[in-house]
Structure 1
Amino acid sequence: MRTSIFVEPHRGASYDDQLRLAHAVEALGFEGLLRADHYQSMGDVDGLPGPTDAWLTLAALSRETSRIRLGTLVTSATFRPPGPLAIMAAQVDQMSGGRLDLGIGAGWYEREHLSYGLPFPPTAERFDRLEEQLAILTGLWSTPVGQTFDHQGRYWTLTGAPALPKPLQQPGPPLIVGGKGARRTPELAARYATEFNMPFRSVTETARAFERVRAVSAQSGRAASGRAPLVLSAGIVVAIGRTDAEAARRAAPLHAKSALPPEEPVVGSPGLLVDRIAEFAGIGAARVHLRLSDLTDLDQLELIATEVLPHIADLQPTSDTTSPA
């Protein structure tokens, strides 16, 4: 089982906080560290010391780590035009030695758009823009060196783009597309993504989402085109402890509204988390993203590393993930 840590720095974290976490994640044997891409905290959280930009942070962390994968879960397509985003992601991929995972979504939190003067079109248009962004990102990265890329779309026109720099990973960094949407999300994942992620939902709801994306992938002819099956991943909100009191203390912040509201968080012993991860493996998940509410709580991170990782290392997806995912 591939196991990454996910955090929400917009709720209040400095770069130094994130650097300490990244070093711990790497030292303790996790596969990766992914962060949200938001510019404002939610609910009653004061958000101090303020947000940090996801891509500035990833660029810095890419030079201060050597092994873990780094990425967004997920970058908002409303924040950045696709051309500059393609350049940013390619550069971070080079800077990290090919360790970038790019999660990208349509954007949803209207308040931060209003706060910082970012356009926030209706839902259907945001998904249309996301689809066009994915086409441009993959088009720029796959254009051979020495050739240019053109795109005439509804929202963006690119003329004679040099399509540089190229990411180190080819044909590009793994793309993560996910969410509970029943139609557009599975279609976009099947067409463009390397990984489909169901963020922080129950095993039952995640299983339904996995089945939808499998069906759409089969209908789209993904396997016939020679593309690898989608990696299926699940998000789990975690508040575990050595005692019930310790777990309850860590669970206290879960009442606050999060960028990805939790459903069925794991609150309790490390064994409960092992069992939940096994359940997700049983429906086909090959990767889990563990969301920690307090990214300065390195003691919980160490507890997961010592009491959970050894018990899930050999877990394999038991659903039929060899067919088109």
Structure 2
Amino acid sequence: MELCVFTEPQQGASYDLQLAHAQAAEALGFTGWFRSDHLLAMSGDGLPGPTDAWTTLAGLARETSRVRLGTLVSSVTFRHPGLLAMQVAQVDAMSGGRVELGLGAGWFAAEHLAYGIPFPERRFDLLEEALEIVTGLWSTEVGDTYAFDGVHWRLEESPALPKPVQQRVPVIVGGTGAKRTPALAAEFATEYNVPWADGDDLERAWGRGRAAADAAGRDDLRLSVAKQTVVGRTEAEFRRRAEAIGADPDELRATQLGGTANEVADRVAALGEAGAVRVYLQTIDMTDLDHLDLLAATLL
């Protein structure tokens, strides 16, 4: 089972802070460093302000050497899929083939209003077309052209360049939707991610992912989960860290990855036994590098 660090820079993080966090995750041995792709903080002032996800990942690609890098997840509303395919392919080359693309329908209307970005109602239709375009551009042979005639986008005689370094850039589709989300994951993605769910809810969501993969004739769809993660060496340290990010320690312990080190280690092991190929450890306070040290010592 792979363990990745997952961050929320819109809550307030400069590029330099994200760089320090990503380099620490790499040095400690985590598989990947992933970031959300949001434009507004959900709480607090969010200073110094948002950082564009793919601009940030391009910088990190040149300042790390091993850790995998990606979004969990980019909103389909933010970037034209033709341009997104180009951006991701370029960052993949800049990283030597370490990029992964998480792509979703988007949900946060306020950030769209704040920056003048359209927020249509039928975003799953956008997502389906974008997944087809991005993967289609990447898979087109060099020298051939790609065309797409959809409801929302039309591409004609595209040279489909540049190509990623990886033969297949991993694509992550996630969510708890009962039908379209697992179906899209089975058709286009390498990984189906379920965020925040626990217990029977998580198993039901993974079951829908497995069923969609079976219907598509696939046996290689990876299952993953993202969990808010707050760990302490002692109960007091755990509660201090939870308080620092405004989280309820009892809720963290009940449904996420919260508690003392041994507690959380047992819960992560149980996720692996239940079928998780990868667990994303959401860490909010990027200034707390000691937290990463403890997670690595406990879980890796």
TM over 0.5: yes
Match of 2:119 in 1: 120
* Alpha-carbon distance in structure 2 between the residues aligned to 1:266 and 1:89: 31
Match among 170, 176, 180 for residue 176 of structure 2: 180
Match of 1:157 in 2: 154
Match of 1:270 in 2: 261
In structure 2, stretches of 5+ residues that fail to align are none
Match of 1:302 in 2: 293
Q: Secondary structure at the match of 1:201?
A: coil
Q: Does 1:11 align with 2:11?
A: yes
1:160 deviation in Å? 0.8
1:282 deviation in Å? 2.1
TM-score, with length taken from structure 2: 0.96
1:165 deviation in Å? 0.2
Q: Secondary structure at the match of 1:6?
A: strand
1:29 deviation in Å? 0.6
Match of 1:226 in 2: none
* Alpha-carbon distance in structure 1 between the residues aligned to 2:175 and 2:123: 14
1:222 deviation in Å? 2.4
1:152-178 Cα deviation digits (max 9, x unpaired): 0000000111100000111x3100001
CA contact (8 A) 1:253 1:293 kept: no
1:255 deviation in Å? 4.2
Match of 2:195 in 1: 199
Q: Secondary structure at the match of 2:47?
A: coil
1:265 deviation in Å? 2.4
* Alpha-carbon distance in structure 2 between the residues aligned to 1:231 and 1:157: 31
Q: Secondary structure at the match of 2:49?
A: coil
CA contact (8 A) 2:245 2:285 kept: no
1:194 deviation in Å? 0.3
* Alpha-carbon distance in structure 1 between the residues aligned to 2:256 and 2:240: 14
Match of 1:230 in 2: 221
Match of 1:213 in 2: 209
* Alpha-carbon distance in structure 2 between the residues aligned to 1:263 and 1:247: 14
* Alpha-carbon distance in structure 2 between the residues aligned to 1:239 and 1:267: 5
* Alpha-carbon distance in structure 2 between the residues aligned to 1:208 and 1:195: 16
1:266 deviation in Å? 2.4
Q: In 2 relative to 1, CA 280–96 (structure 1 residues): closer, same or farther, beyond 3 Å?
A: same
Q: In 2 relative to 1, CA 253–104 (structure 1 residues): closer, same or farther, beyond 3 Å?
A: farther
1:119-147 Cα deviation digits (max 9, x unpaired): 0011xx10000000000001100111011
Match of 2:87 in 1: 88
CA-based RMSD of the aligned residues comes to 1.6
Residue identity matched to 2:22: A
TM-score, with length taken from structure 1: 0.89
Residue identity matched to 2:125: D
Q: Secondary structure at the match of 1:79?
A: coil
* Alpha-carbon distance in structure 2 between the residues aligned to 1:262 and 1:239: 9
Q: Secondary structure at the match of 1:197?
A: strand
1:201 deviation in Å? 1.7
* Alpha-carbon distance in structure 1 between the residues aligned to 2:119 and 2:260: 41
1:115 deviation in Å? 0.3
Match of 2:21 in 1: 21
* Alpha-carbon distance in structure 1 between the residues aligned to 2:246 and 2:17: 23
1:212-264 Cα deviation digits (max 9, x unpaired): 111111112224xxxxx11111112111111211111111255469xxx9971
Q: In 2 relative to 1, CA 103–32 (structure 1 residues): closer, same or farther, beyond 3 Å?
A: same
Match among 142, 147, 161 for residue 145 of structure 1: 142
Q: Does 1:77 align with 2:76?
A: yes
Q: Does 1:166 align with 2:163?
A: yes
Q: Secondary structure at the match of 2:103?
A: strand
Shift >6 Å, 4+ stretches: none
* Alpha-carbon distance in structure 1 between the residues aligned to 2:198 and 2:216: 27
* Alpha-carbon distance in structure 2 between the residues aligned to 1:176 and 1:77: 13
CA contact (8 A) 2:77 2:117 kept: yes
State the identity as a percent: 55
